[in-house]
Structure 1
Amino acid sequence: MTYNEEDDRREVVPELGLRIGGGDNNGDYVKLKKGPDEVELEEGLDVSVVEPSSPRRGCFCYWLRFVLLLGFLGLLVGVFIKWVGPFLLDKEIIPILNWETSTFSAPVLGVLVFASVAIFPTMLLPSTPSIWVAGMTFGYGYGFLLIILASSIGISLPYFIGSLFRHKIQGWLDKYPKRASVLRLAGEGNWFHQFRAVTLIRISPFPYIIYNYCAVTTNVKYGPYLFGSLVGMVPEIFVAIYTGILILTLADASHEQHGLSAPQIIFTVIGFCATVATTIFFTVYAKRQLKELQMEDELLLR
């Protein structure tokens, strides 16, 4: 405690001791004496004040990186469309499309697409190429209805088959407790809570085919599992249909040997970037919401 004498007045001034850790156990001490117009530093050590970074600056840097990433992706898409795409289309895509259209009619293709989307997930096979074909053949409207109906079967069969191997799947999940804790969120709470958790899991980057079999071990009801899965798969279905339509557009342009005009390339790049940005947005949003659900459950357990 120190005293500051000024105009015959005795004022008590608090004395601060700041310890700076060194190599020994004693460390160094800096005493700060606060007077009316002065701050004294003993031992001549420098004390610097670090101001926290502005939140606005961090947000600006984040969006700047995001825009640069989208621009880079757009540049890659432009290069692919201009040079790489035509080569692949002429050698691979166009022969397959010609064989497909000459061999199968539209109704037969619809049956094949429906069967593959309904059965492939049960066999742990990806069904995305089938959704591309649906986009090429039927477009957004009929293609989406065809895929969403087939997907309802494709996610139901593994759910009921997985119930026969419930204990084995549970033992496998116990080896990955962190991811299993996310899946178990879908088996807690009421109908809406389960529906919401399943929807977020479907939007998140968790493997689609694996969750079909693992869901039954979390005690989630079939109703919220089915409807939550269908709602969560909507963005992925539209992206796959868009990809199929894009492939068909590029194939037609390459087959007619006139290429894409500058406006078509610009709109294609913009559409691709918008699709990527939407996918990233929904994925990040789903991951954040899942973390919030985990925190809520941990608080309830306490």
Structure 2
Amino acid sequence: MESNRDGDYVRLEDGEDVDSLARNEAPLDVPTSSETWWRWGVKEIGLCILAGVLTVIIVNWLGPPFMSKVVIPTINWVTRSFDPPVLALLIFATTAVFPALIIPSTPSMWIAGMSFDYVTGFSIVMAGVTIGVTLPYFIGSPFRQKIQTWLARYPKQAAVLRLAGEGSWFHQFKAVVLIRISPFPYILFNYAIVATDVKYSPYLLASLVGMVPEVGLTLYGGKLIRQLADATGDHKGLSTPHAAVNLVGFGATMIATVMSSLYAKGRLEEQRRKEEATLG
């Protein structure tokens, strides 16, 4: 027998099971995945457009003074102070160690984008990320019980993490990839994952795969910063075609990253609801 919405019990007929009843009632309570996708998509794309407009305004009005007084001196200092091998080592070290200290490593990725070509910068950053996701996994393991207690304050996020720790090696790999692509904070997830039963090998490989969009977008941002700084230093603005290509390229990369994040978020939410339906 099953309980209906009014609290009364309903007898299941022969051949009728809980899953069929859930399928019949689900559309009344849960939006379809396509509805969820479009709702999130419209919202996030709108935010991207707003962010783009604000970026154009900031660059036009505040960009030149900021570039000439902050960015250009910083780039010149880095260039004079460190040879490329030393700079590569520093970028690797910061992207490897900062996550364990819960310090964002995004500025280091920007510097990698400003200082190296895409292949070299990507290789340096991903090498650091490999260590950066590994250290918290092992450092946090002795504190698993405390992390579980902390996660108990956030049941929705804990439910998503619990999904990652279930099932086969491939299930764990897929779940961690989705979480990495989703908006779940990078440096917090590195420690929170130890509260689950996720094994190290699927966690590491999935983290590297899931970090590719974020690293690529951040390196692209570093390239744009360098181009703007060079144009400002030469007292020349970017040509209209050059600026348009950069803007379109960055916008396309950002939208692709956001849409990937939305897809991952939707898939995780769908899995979480399925788990709740199974347990309930």
Report TM bin, short chain.
0.7 to 0.9
Structure that is richer in strand per residue: 1
Distance 1:75 1:204, change over 3 A: same
Match of 1:216 in 2: 194
Partner amino acid, structure 2, of 1:262: T
Partner amino acid, structure 2, of 1:86: P
Equivalent of residue 138 in structure 2, options 146, 154, 160: 160
CA contact (8 A) 1:203 1:283 kept: yes
How far 1:81 sits from its partner (Å)?
3.0
How far 1:294 sits from its partner (Å)?
1.5
What is the alpha-carbon distance in structure 2 between the residues aligned to residue 275 and residue 198 of structure 1? 22
| Matches for 1:57-76 after TM superposition, within 5 Å | 71-76=49-54
Partner amino acid, structure 1, of 2:142: L
Q: Which moved more, 1:279-288 or 1:233-242?
A: 279-288
Match of 2:253 in 1: 275
Distance 1:68 1:203, change over 3 A: closer
Find runs of 4+ consecutive structure 1 residues off by over 2 angstroms: 59-83, 295-302
Equivalent of residue 96 in structure 1, options 64, 69, 74: 74
CA contact (8 A) 1:139 1:241 kept: no
| 1:124-168 CA distance string (max 9 Å, x none) | 100000001111111210111111111010000000011111111
What is the alpha-carbon distance in structure 2 between the residues aligned to residue 283 and residue 123 of structure 1? 25
How far 1:220 sits from its partner (Å)?
0.4
Structure that is richer in helix per residue: 2
Distance 1:199 1:248, change over 3 A: same
Percent identical: 50
| Matches for 1:141-290 after TM superposition, within 5 Å | 141-290=119-268
What is the alpha-carbon distance in structure 2 between the residues aligned to residue 130 and residue 169 of structure 1? 28
How far 1:278 sits from its partner (Å)?
1.4
SS at match of 1:236: helix
What is the alpha-carbon distance in structure 2 between the residues aligned to residue 156 and residue 69 of structure 1? 33
CA RMSD of aligned residues (A): 2.2
Match of 1:293 in 2: 271
SS at match of 2:163: helix
| 1:88-121 CA distance string (max 9 Å, x none) | 1001000111111111100000000000000000
SS at match of 1:161: helix
What is the alpha-carbon distance in structure 1 between the residues aligned to residue 186 and residue 128 of structure 2? 15
SS at match of 1:219: coil
CA contact (8 A) 2:45 2:255 kept: no
What is the alpha-carbon distance in structure 1 between the residues aligned to residue 91 and residue 215 of structure 2? 13
How far 1:62 sits from its partner (Å)?
9.2
CA contact (8 A) 1:198 1:228 kept: yes
Distance 1:74 1:214, change over 3 A: closer
SS at match of 1:206: coil
TM-score, reference length from structure 2: 0.81
- For structure 1, the 5+ residue unaligned runs are 1-58
CA contact (8 A) 1:194 1:224 kept: yes
What is the alpha-carbon distance in structure 1 between the residues aligned to residue 86 and residue 224 of structure 2? 22
TM-score, reference length from structure 1: 0.76
How far 1:71 sits from its partner (Å)?
4.8
How far 1:238 sits from its partner (Å)?
0.3
CA contact (8 A) 1:200 1:286 kept: yes
Partner amino acid, structure 2, of 1:225: Y
SS at match of 1:283: helix
Aligned length: 244
CA contact (8 A) 1:94 1:255 kept: yes
What is the alpha-carbon distance in structure 2 between the residues aligned to residue 62 and residue 152 of structure 1? 31
CA contact (8 A) 1:73 1:273 kept: no
Equivalent of residue 103 in structure 2, options 125, 145, 169: 125
Match of 1:52 in 2: none
Partner amino acid, structure 2, of 1:270: V
What is the alpha-carbon distance in structure 2 between the residues aligned to residue 66 and residue 200 of structure 1? 18
